[in-house]
A and B are shown apart, each in its own frame.
Chain A
Amino acid sequence: MKIVITSSGNNANAKVDNHFGRCAFFVFYDTLTRGVEFLPNPFKEFEEGAGEAAVNLIAARGITKIVTGELGVKVKPILDSLKIQVIILRHKEKSIEEILNMLNHYA
């Protein structure tokens, strides 16, 4: 299973970024290989449509789950139609490492 996490920095100590479309980095995590990849968000500076563009990017990579703090109203219906699950954190100060540890049960 492939999961994307929105991150505010490019290392595992960084906190989760609360904005989905305009996060600083996307963290791609593959539960099978335990591979973690940080990708700078190419849509960060978009004035409009950052969320949709981000969905296209992650859908092309076969992501089935998103972990983030918030996401826009335009994005949710697209994710629903793609059957991508959304996980929204309520305690938003978690680091990427903590999230990855929580996802360990999928391995």
Chain B
Amino acid sequence: MPRPKRIRRMTNPPHFKGFKPVGLTEEPPVVIHYEEYEAIRLSDFELHGQVESARIMNVSRPTFARIYESARRKVAQAFVQGKPIVFEGGKVYFDSEWYSCKSCGCWFNHPSREEEVTHCALCGSAEFEQNKEGPL
């Protein structure tokens, strides 16, 4: 049995579901995992080095390199063969777990993931909601 994968950390999922090639009939899509999306984002958009990116995703440098390579190959496959891309799955957790309180209007995060959020961290109100994007 292979060793279980370490959970990769990422900030925000892409805010759309994928890409479609122009002018082609539907082909089976290439599935890009969230961690692969994040690897491309960190390396080629934010321009972090591999060591830095690996640290941000909370995996080892070689693991990051594997994720990144797999991501690039999938993108290339989609480009060359004209396949759609969908973002799906992957072993990730989201770093941005911001909540906003409807009562006092503050934002708060929740670093202890194991515990459930039951009330606003500032005013104690139970009227709060989870947000995909945080204030930072």
Residues of chain A touching chain B, judged by Cβ–Cβ distance below 8 Å, are 65, 67, 70-71, 73, 76, 79-80, 83-91, 99, 102-103, 105-106
Contact = CB atoms under 8 A, between A and B. Distances in A.
Contacts of B136: 71, 73, 76, 88
B122 A86 contact: no
A73 to B, nearest CB: 7
B107 A87 contact: yes
Main secondary structure of the interface of B (DSSP, over half): loop
A105 B106 CA distance: 16
B95 to A, nearest CB: 7
B122 A85 contact: no
Report, nearest first, the 9 A-B pairs whose CB atoms are least far apart: A105-B124, A88-B107, A83-B111, A87-B108, A102-B123, A90-B105, A88-B135, A87-B122, A89-B106
Contacts of B105: 89-91
B52 to A, nearest CB: 12
A88 B108 contact: yes
Contacts of A85: 108-111, 121
A66 to B, nearest CB: 10
Given A85-B111, A90-B105, A80 B95 contact: yes
Contacts of A84: 111
B25 interface: no
B112 interface: yes
B124 A65 contact: no
B104 interface: yes
A102 B111 contact: no
A103 B124 CA distance: 8
A88 B106 contact: yes
Contacts of A65: 121
Contacts of A87: 106-108, 121-122
A67 B121 CA distance: 10
6 contacts: A76-B136, A89-B106, A90-B105, A90-B106, A91-B105, A99-B122
